[in-house]
Amino acid sequence: MATALVINLLLAPNVYSAPIPPPNVTYFVQNVSDGCNDLRNCRTMWGIVYSCLLAIFACVWTAAHPNVPGPNDSIWAFKSPTFKSRFTMVMGSLLSPEVILALAWRQFLLSWRISKKCKMVEGWTLTHSYFVVMDGFRVDPVLELPVDLNDLQKYPAIIEKTGNTRKAAITKKQILDRSKGDPFSKFIIVVQLLWFITQYVGRWASHLQRSQLETMTLAYAALCVFLYVLWWHKPVNIQFPIHVMEESPSVPPTSETNVDQPTPKTETDADPMSVQVSEPKDMEVMSMFIVTGMIFGGIHCLAWSFPFPTHTEMILWRVSAIYITVAPVFITLAGWLSDHVDDDLGMMIMVLLLLVYAVARVILLVLTLSSLRSPPPSLYQTPSWSSFLPHFG
């Protein structure tokens, strides 16, 4: 976050600092359109690229909320299925943000259900539930075993029991003290992304041209806002877990115990915390994957009628945008086919779909950059009201 702010402060003054040349000078035409005579309502190509790259950086880096890594997890950890490496999560967000959003949706559902189960625990918050889900509590310092989600009260270092009272042993502030983020920094990033979305919609309403790069950035920004909402209460970039131990087992009855004496009621009898936490179903997660994937691809389709340098590039953009929009549906069907009909056939189809998806994403990225070589004049014009909205850059 601090790095992004420093970059903003260093580069933002250069966005609108181009001098006004004499009428007989032509070098300025390459950067700002002839129709943009008032620099207060103009922008440069560098300003467009800079604001888009800054927004994408905010989406793939600052929005990454990895789980707590284990002792043997590397920062590169490509094989980590739980995204315990921030680098892995950043690469995943860059290549397929809909997958990361589906993961965030699963963690949100699981954390919400844990909070619902622990509603009688004094001081328990959604941040505690997220800390449990992200493997923040570990049982064995050597094996690094995760705690039992269905019986959190057997760990005194997590939930203190005094008679019929339950209380969180660690406070929310103590958890957030380990976090590398805070609500204010998240709020600043969300404001920046909302500004980008607003100015894009404002350009559309003002009939001003948008670039393919801005359209791709809009797709990242839209999904990133949802990602921040789901992970708002999740701690950020915690490197070391909190080790806990199970409570000592009760003393077994001896022969001297009066067997006729009624057994006292245990603390877990009729305890709402004894209800098991149900894992989110695959369909719940895949539904989010399909919806967000269609949103991500559908936003790319907004550039359907944008001017392209060549007709071939326009066709490639349209075909690739359509494919990444509908691909999540077919990938989900291939997964269902692999689980319920034919494992080998389903996996083969899924691998093929993913390869074509990767090719389509590469094509869109190349076309996004190549389209900047011949932008239309109205691309440099900006709505007069956009400068009054709070933003960086």
More confident residue, 271 or 149: 149
> Per-residue pLDDT averaged across 253-270, rounded?
48
Contact 46, 14 (CB under 8 A): yes
From CA 179, how far away is CA 189, in angstroms rounded? 17
For CA atoms 153, 157, 163, 164, the dihedral sign is negative
Picking from 29-43, 170-184, 333-347, which range would have the lowest pLDDT averaged per residue?
A: 29-43
pLDDT value for 330: 94
Residue 93: name the closest of 141, 131, 57, 54 by CA: 57
pLDDT at 315 exceeding the cut of 90: yes
Task: Provide φ and ψ at 258, rounded to 5°.
Answer: -75, 110
pLDDT at 11 exceeding the cut of 70: no
Contact 90, 224 (CB under 8 A): no
Predicted confidence (pLDDT) per residue in 331-384, tens digit: 999 988 888 787 788 889 999 999 999 999 999 999 999 988 888 877 877 766
From CA 116, how far away is CA 223, in angstroms rounded? 27
Confidence of residue 24 (pLDDT cuts 50, 70, 90): very low
Predicted confidence (pLDDT) per residue in 101-145, tens digit: 999 999 999 999 999 999 889 999 999 999 999 988 988 777 778
Picking from 50-54, 191-195, 256-260, 307-311, which range would have the lowest pLDDT averaged per residue?
A: 256-260
pTM for this entry: 0.77
Amino acid at 161: K
- Kindly report the average pLDDT of the chain as a whole number: 79
3-state secondary structure 223-248: HHHHHHHHCCCCCCCCCCCEECCCCC
